[in-house]
Amino acid sequence: MEGFRCLLLYLCLSLAGSCKGKSIEDDSGVLQTLDDDLEQEDNLNSRLEKLGTMKEDFLRMLNLSGVPQEQRKVQPPPFMMELYNKYASDKSSVPRSDVIRSFILQDVTQSVIRNNKTSHRLLFNVSVPNFEEVTLVQLRLFTLWDGAQTACDDFLASVTVYEVEHIQNREILHLLDRKDIPDTEPTWEAFDVTNAIHSWLQSSCGAGELEVKVESQGCGSFKGGGFNISLDLEDNTSPVLIVFSDDIENRKGKARGEVKEMMTHEDESFLLKVDALEDSNGEVHLDRHPRRKRQARKNYCRRTSLRVNFKDIGWDQWIVAPPEYEAYECKGVCSFPLTNDVTPSKHAIIQTLMHLSNPKKANKACCVPTKLDPLTVMYQENGVITVRHLYEEMKVAKCGCR
């Protein structure tokens, strides 16, 4: 609005010569204000353009074709929150897989209680992109006391997980994993069901049933209540499948990028020793104006803050964590001489020297990111919670001249 007022005043001065009897040339304050507003508008447009590019890159890194349209935010399982917090806080932690997804229980198709034994048929629907390789799948069950019965000393229980295979009119159970539960405290237990999910995905169905059998002895036997697994969807303790997978496509791209970087950024120290460029007469053309030198140092290529808040860009409905992060950006000029702290490439040095010799022949080198740090993200897509450990291209670590 202020810029618009200044524009009106500028037009007034242009048409009338002076609204107060002064010439337009004398009103330098108005012109300066107008120039400042135009510069601020250019900076805003530049930032909006960068933000749009970042949003596209962000979706591409997550292998998403568009912004997920989620109706409501899904509460992530405790295990997923633990994983995210671990990778987000400890940069030295190396994830066992690139992508970790959690699939909630779709339905309990059958539940039987007989004396000290219970069995539950659990239906899940799993979907994983075909360019990802599933490395491990865990069924996580929350074990607890069913009813009002309390813990005792002679307790012993076992939990066994089977894959249910339907062949014509028959059902065949395939043993997947088994655990003895010696402790009576409510807790999460993990069972390896990788083979079952591999067969589901290979069948192009992605849906299947797992049968969980709980057998208890001693005071854990069922007599009006005993040891069981939670099936409650409301308190976030129902069974959940955790699928670990590797993004083969992104790993190949990263490997190609690392090889290219090794080939491109060779040892350039010998070029950094160049003190000045001499012309054909042996004269050195350097700007020795102290004010310009101070201004150049102030605007020299460096890393500056760029805070990305997912709520500001309308992504808070599907980005679970973090709510915001510091992405940084590279700003400034690459002026001669290019010092070690901006790690110039050989091409950047030659380009800078050429620009110094003849600005019409070559532009200055550009201030760009030369090192990027990963960002761990938790998001939801179609109700599926995903933790993704991104290895590159999300946060600027260093800036340089290229």
Q: Tell me which of 177, 203, 238 is where a domain ends.
A: 238
What distance in Å separates the CA atoms of residue 198 and residue 206, rounded to the nearest whole number?
9
Categorise residue 218: left if φ over 0, alpha if ψ from -120 to 50, beta otherwise: left
CA 232/CA 389 separation, integer angstroms: 30
Kindly state the tokens that stand for 373: 């740090």
Q: What is the CATH number of the domain that holds 295?
A: 2.10.90.10
Q: Are residues 297 and 219 in the same domain?
A: no
375: buried, middle or exposed (CB in 10 Å: 19+, 13-18, 0-12)?
A: buried
CA-based nearest residue to 173, from 161, 159, 181: 161
Whether 205 is in a domain gets the answer yes
Q: In whole angstroms, how far apart are CA 203 and each of 134, 151, 172, 206? A: 14, 43, 17, 7
What SS3 state is found at 124?
Answer: strand
Residue by residue, pLDDT tens for the chain (402 residues) are: 444 444 334 434 443 333 344 443 445 555 556 656 665 666 556 655 656 666 777 777 676 767 777 667 778 888 888 888 888 887 676 667 888 999 999 999 998 888 778 899 999 999 998 888 999 999 999 988 765 555 566 677 889 999 999 888 888 999 999 999 877 778 899 999 999 999 999 887 778 999 999 988 766 555 545 678 888 877 788 999 999 998 877 655 554 444 344 444 444 443 444 433 434 444 444 444 555 444 555 688 889 998 888 888 888 888 889 999 998 999 988 887 777 778 787 888 888 888 888 888 888 888 889 888 888 889 988 888 998 876 567 889 999 888
Q: How many domains does the chain have?
A: 2
Residue 96 lies in a domain: no
Peptide bond into 95 cis (omega under 30): no
Domain boundary among 203, 221, 238: 238
The domain containing residue 174 runs over which residues? 106-238
Q: Are residues 304 and 385 in the same domain?
A: yes
| Burial (Cβ within 10 Å: 0-12, 13-18, ≥19) of residue 222 | buried
- Whole-Å CA distances, 76 to 31, 125, 369: 55, 17, 34
Q: Identify whether residues 226 and 303 lie together within a single domain.
A: no
Please report whether residue 282 resides in a domain. yes
Q: Taken in order 61, 67, 69, 73, is the CA torsion positive or negative? A: positive
- How many whole angstroms separate alpha carbon 363 and alpha carbon 230? 66
Q: Are residues 234 and 310 in the same domain?
A: no
Q: Is 40 part of a structural domain of the chain?
A: no
Whether residue 135 sits in one domain with residue 176: yes
Chain position carrying tokens 């997912």: 310
**Is position 120 within any domain?**
yes
